[in-house]
Structure 1
Amino acid sequence: MFTERLEFPTALTFLVSPHKRHSTATHQLNPFSTVLFQAIFSYLQQRKSSQNMESQIDFFEWLEPDVALKILTCLDDAADLVRASSVSRYWQNIVVSNGLSKKLCMRTFPQLATITRVVEPSHDNSRETERDHRVYASLSRAFTTFPLANCIANPVSASSSDRYPAESIINTMVPMNSFLRRGSYWSSRGSDDPETPETLVYNLTASFCVITEINLHPFQDLYDPGFPVYSSGFVRFRMGHPKSWRELNYDFIEAQECADDKFIWTYTSPVYPVAQENLLQRFKLPEPVVCIGGYLQIELLGRVQKACDDKYYICVAHVQAMGRKLSPAFSVEFSEPPNDVSLKYDAKEFGSLLSTGGSVSRAKPSLRIAKKSGVLG
């Protein structure tokens, strides 16, 4: 907010992108800057002719509420919205009372529309609008500042496995093509039809993550003539949550059963072509996606390589889901029934994660899985 004798140039520095404030080039202003400067110029003109103007004033109040709201609604960066609300109590009231932080979050991440309730234990008695502003402003910051990492924790199921457990989906957790001279990969069953799809389902490291890209490494068989790569022709990704959390207390991998119908997929990606090459291929999503529920499906479409038995196979050496784990600062809870989704915010954990760069000391999930499966002994 403004205080006595605050200089205009200082107050307006937030309008210029931080990395351009000290540039010798012409400043590129945020979209609402032109309107603001026009309003401020008008204010200065009137101030010249006024003899009774006090120095203590929040000059943003010279903008009508509907005009200020239109200006603030033009912002498409949560950091700009926070900065704008911090320099003026008048603007802060507009941001909070109109739920602009929440609306911007929803506009950027449509998946958040499934959240029906926000819980903040440390502020149980605060007004709903104030609570939502704190939570969604902090969430917007977490989307960009929490560390980027592989968010896959455990495999859940494969639509088929050729030789279980030697060619289990568990092998895809290990980031290497082979280990101790043994192939480390998942293989589908053979099919006469090259259009037969396959799916792999994984549990993510938290029920609340933002995923930016998914990486896939097709397997190359160095023992077959020609060293064939058993990639799929295309790939598509889905994210979502279980229909019933109770139904997941079952080992689909051991039973060699597909769990695809146990989930509600709330996001489906475009279809990406897969190169028939022995390398980690990166598939960047069009926009970062908030996964509410913590489950990922990789759908492998089309087969391109036959084995010596004249059947088509798909084999995957390794998968990654790169993104930001939002817990323990944020978590989601599902109720059965009704299908309410609660977003829980822990301000203390949020502050702690920011101060430590979001790092959490623990063993890598992929190594734990590999040890459990016997790949690492």
Structure 2
Amino acid sequence: MKNGVDFLDFLYDDLSIKILTSLEDPSDLVRFSAVSRFWRHFVITNGLCKHLCLRMFPQLSRVNHVNELGGIAKGNAEAGSSNFVEWEALEREHRVYAFLARGCLSFDVRECILEAIIASSTDNYPEESIDNTLEPRDRVGRRASYWSSKGQSNPAVPETLTYKLVADLCVITEINVRPFLAYFQYGYPIYSAKSVRFRMGHVKSSMDNLVDESCQDSGNHKFVWTYTSQEFPMAQENRLQNFKLPEPILCIGGILQIELLGRVQRQEMDGLFYICVSHVQVVGRPLSPAFGIRILEPSKKFVLEASPVSTLQMRVRDLEKIVNLLRGNVVDVEHGFGWDIDDEESDEEDVDII
């Protein structure tokens, strides 16, 4: 330390990479890259922030390239050279993936469903449509609020409910489903499924109309699924049942489908099996407007698009200033965001070695 020794000089690159890829908090990796020019160059050249994101979310393996919307290219005497272009691309990837990793852990957790798209079948449309599953109450006024499938003599026939999320990129942590208790039928039967499974993905770009006017369509031919969960057992109970995913999943494309597998309740009136759902809730972290995607057909890869980090930080800081002024507080919030990647460049001017 006293002699200005950099321990990276004494390690092979493979060992340094192995040490740094063991970091789980993206903040640690960015702090590391802010220590010196050499350390920052090492992190960027080896794509360590991208590696961290891929470890967190394997779904990102379909990223073709990243793009900063509204980004301004930095001037350089070597502009136009292949080395400069390659380094600029590596820097861009570093900024975008570092910001993405942080956003996936720190953006607000909230309800993520924007609208219901389609159900595989509906018994009485629109009275029993999928739209009713967005209402947390099972009664609205004097009317029951629920979705009902068509009846089937075969209890193995599955059903699907498909929803559009609030953003093209959402980190989903849990999904809650409440089966419907038919309080107006004898015995108060509960029309749950035996089990559920979840799919996430995006719309095929060639499809403009998501909703089939007949409302009797799974819509699977209109979507590309990038993730399919394990199968979770469902209880035949009238409560909001929690299905926590084993790990947070990055939904790429903003489409989520619930597969309802197996039927347990036969309706006394006609002897057929039904599945009825009162309410569906999806919990996660929307990454919009910070991030978006652009699907590349026919490869099914996509471009990861990010708003300029500095612009987003300026908006956050301005809001913080306004809130503090309204509260009568005089607080320096210039560094309150805690994630200024551009600060790396100012830090590295003063610290080149440890």
TM-score interval for Structure 1 and Structure 2 normalised by the shorter chain: 0.7 to 0.9
Partner of 1:72: 20
Runs of 4+ with deviation above 6 angstroms = none
Task: Please tell me the residue identity of whatever aligns with 2:264.
Answer: V
Partner of 2:115: 154
Q: Structure 1 length normalisation: TM-score?
A: 0.76
Going from structure 1 to structure 2, the CA distance change for 1:74 and 1:321 (only over 3 Å counts) comes to same
Consecutive unaligned residues in structure 1, runs of 5 or more: 1-43, 48-52, 358-377
Partner of 2:6: 59
Deviation digits for residues 37-96 of structure 1, max 9, x if unmatched?
xxxxxxx6xx6xxxxx4xxx3634543352433321222332221222223433222111
Q: Is 2:54 the partner of 1:110?
A: no
Deviation (angstroms), 1:208: 1.1
- Residues in 1 aligned to 2:233 and 2:122: alpha-carbon distance in whole angstroms: 23
Q: Structure 2 length normalisation: TM-score?
A: 0.80
- SS at 2:178's partner residue? strand
8 Å Cα contact 1:208-1:291 kept in structure 2: yes
Going from structure 1 to structure 2, the CA distance change for 1:274 and 1:71 (only over 3 Å counts) comes to same
Partner of 2:195: 234
8 Å Cα contact 1:216-1:316 kept in structure 2: yes
The count of corresponding residues between Structure 1 and Structure 2 is 303
Deviation (angstroms), 1:150: 1.2
Task: Please tell me the residue identity of whatever aligns with 2:236.
Answer: Q
- SS at 1:122's partner residue? coil
Please show how residues 212-223 of structure 1 align to structure 2 within 5 Å. Answer: 212-223=173-184
- Residues in 2 aligned to 1:215 and 1:123: alpha-carbon distance in whole angstroms: 43
Q: Is 2:249 the partner of 1:289?
A: yes
Structure with bigger gyration radius: 1
Deviation digits for residues 138-157 of structure 1, max 9, x if unmatched?
00110011111111111111
1:211 pairs with 161, 172, 188, which one? Answer: 172
8 Å Cα contact 2:210-2:222 kept in structure 1: no
Partner of 2:71: 122
Is the helix fraction higher in 1 or 2? 1
Q: Is 2:235 the partner of 1:275?
A: yes
Q: Is 2:281 the partner of 1:316?
A: no
Deviation (angstroms), 1:321: 1.3
Q: Is 2:144 the partner of 1:196?
A: no
- Residues in 2 aligned to 1:235 and 1:110: alpha-carbon distance in whole angstroms: 23
Question: Which segment drifts farther, 117-126 or 131-140?
Answer: 117-126
Deviation digits for residues 332-370 of structure 1, max 9, x if unmatched?
01133454411111125542675569xxxxxxxxxxxxx
- Residues in 1 aligned to 2:108 and 2:147: alpha-carbon distance in whole angstroms: 29
Partner of 1:92: 40
- SS at 2:71's partner residue? helix
Going from structure 1 to structure 2, the CA distance change for 1:287 and 1:151 (only over 3 Å counts) comes to same
Question: Which segment drifts farther, 313-322 or 246-255?
Answer: 246-255
Consecutive unaligned residues in structure 2, runs of 5 or more: 75-86, 321-354
Deviation (angstroms), 1:270: 0.5
1:168 pairs with 129, 135, 154, which one? Answer: 129
- SS at 1:116's partner residue? strand
Higher relative contact order (CA 8 A, sep 6+): 2
Question: Which segment drifts farther, 154-163 or 78-87?
Answer: 78-87
Give the RMSD, CA atoms, in angstroms: 2.0
- Residues in 1 aligned to 2:123 and 2:310: alpha-carbon distance in whole angstroms: 48
Task: Please tell me the residue identity of whatever aligns with 1:299.
Answer: E
8 Å Cα contact 2:44-2:90 kept in structure 1: yes
Going from structure 1 to structure 2, the CA distance change for 1:303 and 1:74 (only over 3 Å counts) comes to same
8 Å Cα contact 2:21-2:51 kept in structure 1: no
Partner of 2:313: 351
8 Å Cα contact 1:156-1:253 kept in structure 2: no
Partner of 1:183: 144
